[in-house]
Amino acid sequence: MRILTLNGPNLNRLGKRDASHYGVLTLEGIERALREAYPEDDFRFLQSNHEGELIDAIQAAEKDRDGVLINPGGYAHTSVAMRDALAECRLPKVEVHLSHLANREGFRQTLVTAQACDGYVSGFREKSYLAGVYLLKLLAEEGSVRT
Amino acid sequence: MRILTLNGPNLNRLGKRDASHYGVLTLEGIERALREAYPEDDFRFLQSNHEGELIDAIQAAEKDRDGVLINPGGYAHTSVAMRDALAECRLPKVEVHLSHLANREGFRQTLVTAQACDGYVSGFREKSYLAGVYLLKLLAEEGSVRT
Amino acid sequence: MRILTLNGPNLNRLGKRDASHYGVLTLEGIERALREAYPEDDFRFLQSNHEGELIDAIQAAEKDRDGVLINPGGYAHTSVAMRDALAECRLPKVEVHLSHLANREGFRQTLVTAQACDGYVSGFREKSYLAGVYLLKLLAEEGSVRT
Amino acid sequence: MRILTLNGPNLNRLGKRDASHYGVLTLEGIERALREAYPEDDFRFLQSNHEGELIDAIQAAEKDRDGVLINPGGYAHTSVAMRDALAECRLPKVEVHLSHLANREGFRQTLVTAQACDGYVSGFREKSYLAGVYLLKLLAEEGSVRT
Amino acid sequence: MRILTLNGPNLNRLGKRDASHYGVLTLEGIERALREAYPEDDFRFLQSNHEGELIDAIQAAEKDRDGVLINPGGYAHTSVAMRDALAECRLPKVEVHLSHLANREGFRQTLVTAQACDGYVSGFREKSYLAGVYLLKLLAEEGSVRT
Amino acid sequence: MRILTLNGPNLNRLGKRDASHYGVLTLEGIERALREAYPEDDFRFLQSNHEGELIDAIQAAEKDRDGVLINPGGYAHTSVAMRDALAECRLPKVEVHLSHLANREGFRQTLVTAQACDGYVSGFREKSYLAGVYLLKLLAEEGSVRT
Amino acid sequence: MRILTLNGPNLNRLGKRDASHYGVLTLEGIERALREAYPEDDFRFLQSNHEGELIDAIQAAEKDRDGVLINPGGYAHTSVAMRDALAECRLPKVEVHLSHLANREGFRQTLVTAQACDGYVSGFREKSYLAGVYLLKLLAEEGSVRT
Amino acid sequence: MRILTLNGPNLNRLGKRDASHYGVLTLEGIERALREAYPEDDFRFLQSNHEGELIDAIQAAEKDRDGVLINPGGYAHTSVAMRDALAECRLPKVEVHLSHLANREGFRQTLVTAQACDGYVSGFREKSYLAGVYLLKLLAEEGSVRT
Amino acid sequence: MRILTLNGPNLNRLGKRDASHYGVLTLEGIERALREAYPEDDFRFLQSNHEGELIDAIQAAEKDRDGVLINPGGYAHTSVAMRDALAECRLPKVEVHLSHLANREGFRQTLVTAQACDGYVSGFREKSYLAGVYLLKLLAEEGSVRT
Amino acid sequence: MRILTLNGPNLNRLGKRDASHYGVLTLEGIERALREAYPEDDFRFLQSNHEGELIDAIQAAEKDRDGVLINPGGYAHTSVAMRDALAECRLPKVEVHLSHLANREGFRQTLVTAQACDGYVSGFREKSYLAGVYLLKLLAEEGSVRT
Amino acid sequence: MRILTLNGPNLNRLGKRDASHYGVLTLEGIERALREAYPEDDFRFLQSNHEGELIDAIQAAEKDRDGVLINPGGYAHTSVAMRDALAECRLPKVEVHLSHLANREGFRQTLVTAQACDGYVSGFREKSYLAGVYLLKLLAEEGSVRT
Amino acid sequence: MRILTLNGPNLNRLGKRDASHYGVLTLEGIERALREAYPEDDFRFLQSNHEGELIDAIQAAEKDRDGVLINPGGYAHTSVAMRDALAECRLPKVEVHLSHLANREGFRQTLVTAQACDGYVSGFREKSYLAGVYLLKLLAEEGSVRT
């Protein structure tokens, strides 16, 4: 399965500093864990701090990807534009969050982008990504795409 | 792994009627899918319409279970009492929802019980349960329990 | 017509104490009035203080009942679980309230269970029940069931 | 029984167009159904799009009417002035709605005029009117008037 | 001084029924009291249940009146249209209320029309009208008009 | 094209007084501008301060009009009844506002009647009317009517 | 009539600076105007910036005063303690405001102390005080005290 | 004095796990402390996780109890049904909470059941129970029952 | 035990007037009841209408008092400053209210000062004070002070 | 007239997918329609998914453009930064929306950028753009620029 | 420069107890730091727990001060009266806060008094005062006073 | 000291147009003023309209900067992503605003990015920047960094 893994702002800094929400994870570590757990799949990783770049990538995904795994970072709570891009993309889409959003600040309770994905997984650190791929594959098997 | 699978009110009726939110799933079908996907694990299934029975089961789980997979149904949004029971239970706990809560009625946006679980998965129908077990096993491997 | 008449918590105490909202009505008096007004119909009465028992009864109603007359008492304003049970039940369903909810406390203004009934009647004391049966019979004549 | 049946704005157009909320009902059909179901009663029908005319009619009702059956249409949700007129009228008063208000737009959830009636019936289409008369007659028998 | 005294919906019924908020006042009694207290002034009284008629009267007032004393009744809390009419009228304008609005229902706390008057007097029953004229005369002496 | 141009309360006073929101426009000036810009079209102008009269006119429009251009004035923000009338009218309908509503008082931000029109234009003074007719003609060409 | 005239914080500075809300009034000017308009009455004036002193004065008023005219200044919107003191005082009480509160900042819309007075007058500058005394005298004539 | 001591959901687990809110208290320890401090009184203890059982117990209390000491646990914040049961029970009723509710989560600030008790005590751990009995005895001496 | 008993604004007037909330209690009666019930303790009583005086007393309490019993009156709901003073005082502190706050006006539901006490007792009239001292003594025995 | 036509995120995908809100329109089709309807005008089209690029373009527009026609897409509801850029740009500015915003999701009701334009047009699909140019030309004729 | 440094309630206790928000600062230490950093300026320090005293001081400041540095403590969030006093004072005024208000309790987010100052500084402990004087001097140089 | 001075969207236009909020300041003028006031410090200035570029710059600052002075412009109120970047940066960080935010539009009252800085300064125009550097230097001296 060809999977686009999108990471939003500041996830490039993951594990470099504060371990309180995310432990000692790094984005590289997450990518390595995904490849190890799913060695036969084709992953493309993109991290960007720029909202427009993320939207460009979502728009381009249908061309050569079979599914989208997205952790929108801070844009998850504010970006109507990313939500609109996701809504139009006809691939299986799973939103994942490292931390347990329901137990964090109020402004992280609003999920704007998730509304345009098939579903979301929150709270299991790097395991959220692993479960995200697990779900993308189940969705792809089923041939079902959220419309 | 010995897993308690709790299903709240009305999930016994699943798939018997309205297919708009849940497809043609039945609770029996979900249980069968879990056993097929995870043939070596020990599942105990409990469905109840009674809030108190669900709380009793959560309190008893630590004695002979290694993890809790819970779909609290309608109680997910109102039961402070179930939340307090979950908060006290020292097992890995994953809350799952068949439907995509973020796209349903406003009163389903408040997640009371999920706050006391390790995390939650929403929107993938029966696949939410499968991912829930997948996550419980990852949590158990790690030996980590949310405190 | 075979009618299930469900009464929620505390309605067994009706008329035993405080007459300010409900007058000197008793639940027995209401049942007697229903039988007198509709002598040819088959009434089954159930009162319970337990949310789960009420849900069980709603789920079982389709087997041998033609309509549901429900006064959910305090659960009318909070029970998502009862609402989900009613939503799935394919019988004519009328919710009735003895008192005039629109003129009582704020927390009684939220009608959770009524949303899953065909409609509701509020404010006419025991006459709300009589009108409820009157409406159930009209709904049954029509053969229409809210879906 | 001499009954004033008041219909607010746009109810003259009932059944002429959109059948989604009200089916193929016409106001004439409702009036005919009332006369058929209650052939011995004296009905006076008034429909008006003018708030002031409806208030005038409510003020005049006590002179030669025994009860008021009112469907305030869109004014149900905004008219403090109609509410004050109803509050002062010492006849049995039943507010009826064709559609199930609790399942419609948010601005239809505020019931201003109903607060000054004995109670209200919502959701049963033309049967709401029939139940309204049924209730007016019960209220009149009892000789009770909401004060 | 030539004064237009406008009374909104239901004030024609004043004192005919419920004495709890307004005592045994009648609109005629208030008018008589105004004429007695201010025998040299020219009062024109208008009561209407029709929002449009009240707006017409406000628009016409400048032609032959020196001030407006208005009790908008229930329209005080909802009528943007009357507010706009008052805002455009270049006479001294005093809004009066018989009852003490700050101690009544929540929906009577929003003062829409008063925002377009010079000020308002609330809570003194018929004396609110007397003080209203007293203030109109002071405003007229001063030659000041709110703009 | 036969166009009904409806103007709500106080628009008859336009340009007579306060120029801060509307400049030196008069309703007559707007009507003249419309006729000049669209000399081949058949305009019928109606201004009324009475909510009921405006509803009557909307209900009658289908008989001999091809489109409705409406500036509901203050009723735009409060009239559920006018909204219901517009929703039922099967002509192209454009709501126009002289002033820039998004930059005025909070109570002018709620657009009740616009929800039942094809769309709305706000902020361009008399040019809002001109653009409204321009749009009505485009809508009519297309033969499309909002349903 | 023996009248206690209470003025809250900053009213001692009245007219010394900013004329936008209050014109060129001074507190001394208001007192002089009151004495001129009501030469036979006995006025006692008290201005204080201290909430406790104002409460002490309200508590002592019954001993030798016949009415209370109060402009609570900024405390009008926050002081539950002054409200409780006024509620207990059995004299006619009129609250007055120089400025038109309904047209000022949001935090000035909450009237805490006015709820415990007979009524209130707002928006007429020094004339609010004059009308306040006018009303106190009418209240005293009537012998009525708000309870 | 014959006292019913009701404990809601999860209080059977008290002191078994998390000591952050309640210290090392156990329910048995609290019961022992009550018997030691009040050796001459007749205590009946009931703990239940089932809302309906608690309501049943409240309804039955009048038969052979002189007072109700209730810690409703999580139901304190949601159960309209328990509130209605308490409101009807004519015994002295004191609600107690081990923890200081005003300093905990937002959803614990709503006190539904306490509104139907004589009063409440919060924040003193096991001492809240002791003070609750102390107050029940004072209420009983006085012979006063909240109505 | 040396106890500072603080009473906020208007409590000096207790029992002099309105008996609806507080019965025929006087502050002197409460003080007498405290001394009778706890004859061996050293009470210092202070009542003040001045917020600053109450803060001064709280700041001075640690010097020669062993506990603080405080009824902040109307300041309980608004005084951030008193809250800060209490938070800094290292003595056992119990806040008491004569009336049942949860059943009074909305503005009395916000408890600002109580958040900085060990806990609070509400609704038992003079018995709230007695229970307050009972709790202070239990707190002192335990040697525990809220930090 | 030299017109800058700005299109925000995802409008490049217009008409490629979901026709429910926008029909079968493409951005190219809209541009062609504009050129056809206004053959003598000079259009420059810019579409970008990047907020910063849109701001750059707004800042540069004054140099060689005579008006701005902007459809900000998802940024219309969140971008304070674009609003500030528009506010500073001294050209005629018209905001257009293809869909009828007042009938879509709640988060599309907040118009941040429109507040800094001359006005806005919503709901007429490609015709919104045509009317936007029509209005820009009228604004330019008038020589009026919103300040 | 002659500077009035006003400190509100509880700031006299600064540094005596809880170091979590303010470190080991004392008010004396802050005053000493100010004199050391600005040896040529004339500081007058006033701390008071009494709202009225602070208002008196603000009112008197113009006589012999050139600027006001104010830390209103708890009154910053509630005192409309202090705000009115500051608004009237024609000196440069800087409000300072030791702690980072945006990261504290919700009731500390409302800044009532700051609205009437030139600006505010928050979060830098004693350095907020130093920056406050730095800004007062810059404001004075400029000769600009906020009006 | 090596200081990164970040300026968000539209600050490049400062002083070019509207002088109502910011006077005749230009960004160049502010930079010159900073260099003049602090000639020995090393300033790097960056202005960008792109959210992602600002985040990139914050992430890179630790490498060769000793402090961050940031005016986020419109992003201050919406950017969770910039907030997360600032939270992770371990340098002293001061947010500055030219205008007095507390006196501007409601949407400028939410400070998202400031929560992740050491503190903020608002309202003093270019002097806010000067005070920002003054504070950065004090923070650096102290060696304290907000964590």
Query: Is the pLDDT reported for residue F106 higher than 80?
Result: no
Structure tokens at H116: 């139907």
Chains touching K, CB cut-off 8 Å, 3+ pairs: G, I, L
* Calpha distance I34→D66 (Å, rounded): 62
Q: Is residue H147 part of a domain?
A: no
pLDDT at F57 over 50: yes
- Chain G partners within 8 Å of I51 (Cβ): 51-52, 81
Q: What does the pLDDT look like over L43-66, one tens digit per residue?
A: 999 999 999 999 999 999 999 999
Share of chain L above pLDDT 90, in %: 75
Are the C-beta atoms of residues D84 and D20 closer than 8 Å to each other? no
**For residue H146, pLDDT beyond 80:** no
Query: So what's the pLDDT on residue C29?
Result: 93
Note the pLDDT of residue K146. 41
Structural domain containing residue C103: 2-142
How high is the pLDDT of residue H147? 40
G18: closest chain K residue by CA? K88
pLDDT tens-digit readout, F68-82: 999 999 999 889 899
Measured between CA atoms, the residue of chain I closest to residue K50 is I52
Q: For an interface test with K, which of L21, L24, L130, L138 has the most K Cβ atoms less than 10 Å from its Cβ?
A: L138
At residue A40, does pLDDT exceed 70?
A: yes
Q: Which residue has the higher pLDDT, C100 or A147?
A: C100
| CA distances from residue H116 to C85, H142, I134 in whole angstroms, order as listed | 29, 19, 24
HEC string for F36-59: HHCCCCEEEEEECCCHHHHHHHHH
pLDDT band at residue A107 using 50, 70 and 90 as cut-offs: confident
Spatial distance between the Cα atoms of E114 and E96, rounded to a whole number of angstroms:
9
Residue numbers of chain B with a pLDDT score lower than 50: 144-147
E73-101 pLDDT per residue, tens: 999 998 989 999 999 999 999 999 999 98
What pLDDT shows up at residue J147? 40
> Chains near H, with 3+ CB pairs < 8 A?
B, C, I
pLDDT tens, C68-97?
Answer: 999 999 999 888 899 999 999 999 999 999
Q: Give mean pLDDT, residues I103-111.
A: 82
Strand partners, K7: K47, K71
Task: Give chain F's mean pLDDT.
Answer: 89
Looking up residue K53, the CATH number of its domain turns out to be 3.40.50.9100
H119-122 and H93-97 strand pairing: parallel
Least confident span in A63-67, C45-49, G98-102: G98-102
Q: Which helix (H) or strand (E) holds J42?
A: strand J42-47
Residue spans of chain K under pLDDT 70: 17-24, 144-147
Please give the Cα distance from F121 to D50 (Å, whole number): 28
pLDDT at I130: 97
pLDDT(A23) > 80 = no
What count of CB pairs under 8 Å joins D to E? 57
**E51-64 and D51-64 helices, crossing angle to 10°:** 110
Residue of J22, J38, J100, J134 with catalytic role: J22
Would K147 be classed as within a structural domain? no
Average pLDDT over residues I69-79: 93
The one-character DSSP state at E90 is: -
A147 in a domain, yes or no?
no
At residue G146 the predicted structure's pLDDT band, cuts being 50, 70 and 90, is very low
d(CA I44, CA H83): 39
Phi-psi region of J15 (alpha: psi -120 to 50; beta: other; left: phi over 0): left
Query: Chains that contact B by 3+ CB pairs under 8 Å?
Result: A, C, H
Helix, strand and coil percent figures for chain D, each rounded to 5: 45, 20, 35
* Three-state DSSP state, K120: strand
Give me the mean pLDDT over the J80-95 stretch: 94
Q: Once rounded to an integer, what is the mean pLDDT over residues J25-54? A: 95
List residues of G with catalytic annotation: 22, 97
- DSSP states of G121-143: EES-THHHHHHHHHHHHHHHHHT
> Does residue I48 contact residue I82 with C-beta atoms inside 8 Å?
no
Q: How much is the average pLDDT of I6-34?
A: 83
Average pLDDT, chain I: 90
Which residues does chain B have within 8 Å of residue C53's beta carbon, measured at their own beta carbons?
50
Segment H116-122 mean pLDDT = 96
Residue D147 belongs to some domain of the structure = no
| Structural domain includes residue G27 | yes
Which amino acid is located at J84 in the chain?
D
pTM of the model: 0.84
User: How many whole angstroms separate alpha carbon G6 and alpha carbon G132?
Assistant: 12
Backbone angles phi, psi at I57, to 5 degrees: -65, -40
CA distance C22 to C15: 7
> Considering CB atoms only, which of G78, G84, G90 is closest to I10?
G84
Nearest-CA neighbor of C110 among C79, C85, C132? C79
The predicted pLDDT at position I142 comes to 83
**What pLDDT does residue G17 have?**
62
Q: Does the pLDDT of residue H13 top 60, yes or no?
A: yes
Q: Specify the pLDDT at position I22.
A: 60
Whether residue L147 lies inside any domain: the answer is no
Per mean pLDDT, which range of A99-103, A121-125, A143-147 is the poorest?
A143-147
pLDDT at K105: 77
Distance CA I12, CA K43 (A): 41
Please enumerate in sequence order all residues whose Cβ is within 8 A of that of E22, keeping only pairs 6 or more positions apart, or say none: E14, E15, E98, E99, E125
**Does residue A50 fall inside a structural domain?**
yes
Which residue in chain H is spatially nearest to B147 when comparing CA positions?
A: H18
Considering only residues I98 and K146, tell me which one the structure prediction assigns the higher pLDDT: I98
Chain A CB contacts of B131 under 8 Å are 121, 131, 134-135, 138
Distance from CA of H141 to the nearest CA of B (A): 35
Q: Which of A101-110, F118-127, I87-96 has the lowest mean pLDDT?
A: A101-110
pLDDT at I46: 96
DSSP I130: H
Are residues K100 and K108 in contact, defined by beta-carbon separation less than 8 angstroms? Answer: no
Say what the ipTM of the complex is: 0.89
The total number of structural domains in chain C stands at 1
Size of interface E-G (CB pairs under 8 A): 67
Quote the DSSP letter at residue B24: T
Q: Which of C41-50, F99-108, I13-22 has the highest mean pLDDT?
A: C41-50
Tell me which amino acid residue C103 is: N
Closest by CA position to E108, among listed G115, D80, I104, G97: D80
Nearest chain L Cα distance for residue K46, angstroms: 24
Q: How many residues does chain J have?
A: 147
Nearest to A8 by CA among A99, A61, A55, A75: A75
Residue G147 located in a structural domain: no
- Mapped onto helix, strand or coil, the DSSP state of residue G95 is strand
Pull the structure tokens for residue C113: 């269970």
Please state the φ and ψ torsions of residue G10, each to the nearest 5 degrees. 75, -5
Report the distance separating Cα L117 and Cα L129, nearest Å.
Answer: 15
Tokens 């802050």 correspond to K30
pLDDT at E111 over 50: yes
Confidence label for J145 from pLDDT (cuts 50, 70 and 90): very low
Q: What are phi and psi of L41, to 5 degrees?
A: -95, 160
pLDDT for position A110: 82
Beta bridge pairs of residue A37: none
Average pLDDT over residues J119-130: 95
